[in-house]
Amino acid sequence: MTIDRTTAMRIADVLNEALPYIQRFQHRTIVVKYGGNAMIDEALKRDFARDIVLMRLVGMNPVVVHGGGPQIGRLLKELRIESEFVDGMRVTDSKTMDVVQMVLGGLVNQEIVSLINEAGGQAVGITGKDGGLIRARKMTIERASPETQQPEIIDIGHVGEVTRINRGVVDLLSDGGVIPVIAPIGTGDDNETYNINADLVAGKVAEALNAEKLILLTDVEGVQDGAGNVLTGLTAPEVDRLIEDGTIQGGMLPKIGCALSAVNNGVTSAHIIDGRVAHAVLLEVLTDEGVGTLITSSASPAETAAATSQES
């Protein structure tokens, strides 16, 4: 079967546009947080797996960190275990933690590994407990208390925050040509197991690996202004101002905080992109316009120009 000249030229244009990005990001690490609708829609799941495989085949080092909130919620409901959230964090008692480990470390993780392998890649699934990859400590939430001058400390159970990433575990896999797929479960010095927000884990993994990019898949188009226009090519100080004036608020704040921490700690650029778009990861990495919000540090004008040239 042959294709017409117009289609052939369009394909050639796409490949030519991708070439400089393939060259630029060869041997660079790109950490992708996989979650939201992209993990639920069957077609999007396969698109994501093919994107990750293609990145590896052209010389990049993709690392996948995944969530699984909806899947955890469904199983908890089936088991008639009630869920409670405090400031967006799932209160995780011992029974809930058992379900979290079953879903994240087993069902979800292995499905992603299988999809990548079916697409022609070589993936290995691990949790943060494997090889001491993710060390964590218990997270507590403070709230102002009108009755006392001291803040109220809220215990949300087995919910943790990252204290250290053992990058040697990831390097061992990546150097062997394997795509690491990481479930966001960590271990504390107290030998307790902790459920950790996947965005936060992805950010800390990106920082530890000195990644070229941190990509956070979401169910929105990106950071938007008051009129609903997607903002991109932002520097960290510009993002700070958008937070101060209330443009960025609500559920976007944790992702923005993760992105800012990454670019302020050695990651060249962070991207908040729409995972509902087919092949969103490839479109963000290999095209001029991308499909979301790109954020860089303002530490060096040269670095900022290099990172944002993808959006020009």
Ranges of each domain in the chain = 30-48+58-211, 216-312
Residue 249 pLDDT more than 90? no
Residue 63 pLDDT more than 70? yes
Asked whether the domain spanning 216-312 has the same topology as the one spanning 30-48+58-211, the reply is yes
Q: Which residues pair with 182 in a beta bridge?
A: 65, 126
Q: Give me the pLDDT at residue 47, please.
A: 96
Query: What is the C-alpha to C-alpha distance for residues 203 and 263, in angstroms, rounded to an integer?
Result: 9
Angle between helices 236-244 and 252-263 (to 10 degrees): 150
Q: What percent of the chain shows pLDDT beyond 90?
A: 64
* Stretch among 134-148, 175-189, 227-241 having the lowest mean pLDDT: 134-148
Q: b/e map of 33-54 (b: 16 or more CB within 10 Å)?
A: bbbbebbeeeebbebbbbbbbb
Fold exhibited by the domain 30-48+58-211: Carbamate kinase (3.40.1160)
Q: Dihedral, CA atoms, 183, 184, 190, 191, nearest 10 degrees?
A: -10
Residue 1 pLDDT more than 50? yes
Query: What is the C-alpha to C-alpha distance for residues 165 and 177, in angstroms, rounded to an integer?
Result: 20
Q: How confident is the model at residue 48 (pLDDT cuts 50, 70, 90)?
A: very high
Give the strand order in the sheet containing 234-235.
Answer: 123-127, 179-183, 61-66, 29-34, 213-218, 269-274, 292-296, 234-235
pLDDT digits (tens, 9 = 90+) for 94-130: 999 999 999 999 999 999 999 999 999 999 999 999 9
Q: Give me the pLDDT at residue 204, please.
A: 97
Query: What is the C-alpha to C-alpha distance for residues 276 and 267, in angstroms, rounded to an integer?
Result: 25
Ranked by mean pLDDT, the top range of 240-249, 273-282, 290-299 is: 273-282
Q: How confident is the model at residue 312 (pLDDT cuts 50, 70, 90)?
A: very low
Residue 298 pLDDT more than 90? no
Go through the chain and tell me how many residues it has.
312
- Mean pLDDT of all residues in 246-268: 89
Residue 251 pLDDT more than 80? no
- Mean pLDDT of all residues in 142-149: 64
Sign of torsion, CA 131 132 134 138? positive
Tokens of 50: 């093919």
Tokens of 206: 């990106």
Burial of 154 (0-12, 13-18, 19+ CB in 10 A): middle
Give CATH for domain 216-312. 3.40.1160.10
Which contacts qualify for 173-177: CB closer than 8 Å, 24 or more apart?
173/124, 173/126, 174/29, 174/61, 174/63, 177/56, 177/122
Residue 146 pLDDT more than 70? no
Q: How confident is the model at residue 186 (pLDDT cuts 50, 70, 90)?
A: very high
Query: What is the C-alpha to C-alpha distance for residues 246 and 52, in angstroms, rounded to an integer?
Result: 35
Residue 140 pLDDT more than 90? no
Higher-pLDDT residue of 54 and 298 is: 54
Global confidence as pTM = 0.90
| 233 and 311 Cβ atoms separated by less than 8 Å | yes
pLDDT digits (tens, 9 = 90+) for 207-234: 999 999 999 999 888 888 888 888 888 9
Q: Give me the pLDDT at residue 247, please.
A: 85
